[in-house]
Amino acid sequence: MNTFIKQLFKDKNGNFSLREFATALFILVIIISWAARQFFGKDVPEYMFYTFASMIGAGCFGYSLEKKELTT
């Protein structure tokens, strides 16, 4: 489990990246807000949900644009 978490925060070059960390954090927030709505009846403001979802999309889009650095 520890290696999975370490791999989750690495970019294509194997370096730790704040973008991957932020994207994982926003996914966690979305899951927590879903659980709060389902089990506790706490509403998350709609603008917050769309903000988190768009940040996740931006992080994934940035990852897809990133090129792997070739070492020779």
- pLDDT tens digits along 10-34: 777 777 877 778 888 888 888 888 8
Tens-digit pLDDT profile for residues 31-65:
888 888 889 888 878 887 788 788 878 877 776 66
Q: Where are the domains of the chain?
A: 2-65
Is the pTM above the cut of 0.95?
Answer: no
* The predicted structure's pLDDT at residue 22: 81
* The predicted structure's pLDDT at residue 72: 59
User: CA distances (Å), 32 to each of 47, 52, 57, 69, 70, in order?
Assistant: 16, 12, 18, 35, 38
The string of DSSP codes covering the chain is: -HHHHHHHTB-TTS-B-HHHHHHHHHHHHHHHHHHHHHHH-PPPPHHHHHHHHHHHHHHHHHHHHPPPPP--
pLDDT band with cut points at 50, 70 and 90 for residue 71: low
In angstroms, the CA 58 to CA 30 distance is 15
